[in-house]
Amino acid sequence: MKKIILTLLAAASMTACKDNASTDVVAKILNEKASLNLADFEWTRQPESSVIKGDTIEIVTKAKTDLWQRTYYHFRNDNAPVLQISTREKFFSFVVKTNFKESHHRFDQCGVVMYLDSDNWLKGSIEYENEQFQHLGSVATNNGYSDWATTAIPADVKEMWYRLSRRDDDFCIECSANGNDWSQMRVCHMYEAKDEIRFGIYACSPEESSFKAVFTDMKITECMWKAHDGQQPDEE
């Protein structure tokens, strides 16, 4: 009788694992070479308005929306609209093209995001500054504190590709002007990204502004951020 019970429990466990795996969109795409379906994305927070049609997502931002936690400015902003999917897959890359030709006010922004909760998230984007330049940058927020790394680019850049890659609980954000040639923006560790994560896109307008951000060409691929082949890890 004991063997029968153990066998039944093991079978139930295996079935549950299969059921969980089947609901993991990223795992399914990687294993079955399937396409990304925008219907699998869910809003963490809704924008002012949005349109999802075909392979295109349009987000109209609302004024005074942002993501930032404490550091330097001492305020906490946690109300930007975020559209994401969930996964437990540990090795993959997510690609998206952004068009923000309507951005016109300081700090208008849109890009790629991995939002776990208000104290733990990662984003990469371009933030409009003025008619001369804007900031291409990324923010990693761990345990309620944000940091911001940027570089100035011309204000007439109105399209950018981003690639977010995961290797366990380490992440890389890259950018590209054409979707083929990639430049590293950030490598970071996310302390709360040990198992299931959520990732996708966001857009916001921290000051008195609103604009339309357009996202296209989204796809999930095998991890394009390859294992390091230089200095070997220290022995523990």
Model confidence pLDDT, tens digit, residues 77-89: 999 999 999 999 9
Tell me what pLDDT residue 28 has. 96
Compute how many other C-beta atoms are within 10 angstroms of the C-beta atom of residue 101: 13
For the segment 119-144, the average pLDDT, to the nearest whole number, is 98
- As a whole number of angstroms, the distance between CA 43 and CA 203 comes to 12
Asked whether residue 12 is assigned to any structural domain, the reply reads no
Tell me what pLDDT residue 231 has. 82
Integer CA distances (angstroms), 131 to 128, 153, 154, in order: 8, 11, 9
What's the pTM value of the predicted model, to 2 decimals? 0.88
Model confidence pLDDT, tens digit, residues 138-152: 999 999 999 999 999
For the chain, give the mean pLDDT.
91
Asked whether residue 83 is assigned to any structural domain, the reply reads yes
- As a whole number of angstroms, the distance between CA 27 and CA 196 comes to 12
Structural domain containing residue 105 = 35-221
Amino acid at 161: W
Count the domains in the chain.
1
Asked whether residue 29 is assigned to any structural domain, the reply reads no
Asked whether residue 19 is assigned to any structural domain, the reply reads no
Cβ neighbours of residue 139 under 8 Å, at least 6 residues apart?
67, 68, 121, 122, 123, 146, 147, 148, 149
Model confidence pLDDT, tens digit, residues 2-24: 444 444 344 444 444 444 445 89
Please report, for the domain that includes residue 57, its CATH number: 2.60.120.200
Asked whether residue 1 is assigned to any structural domain, the reply reads no
Asked whether residue 57 is assigned to any structural domain, the reply reads yes
Asked whether residue 229 is assigned to any structural domain, the reply reads no
Cβ neighbours of residue 78 under 8 Å, at least 6 residues apart?
67, 68, 69, 118
- As a whole number of angstroms, the distance between CA 18 and CA 38 comes to 23
Query: Phi and psi at residue 30, in whole multiples of 5°?
Result: -70, -40
Asked whether residue 4 is assigned to any structural domain, the reply reads no
| Helix, strand, coil percent values for the chain (each to nearest 5) | 15, 50, 35
The 8-class DSSP code of residue 234 comes to: P
- As a whole number of angstroms, the distance between CA 129 and CA 133 comes to 6
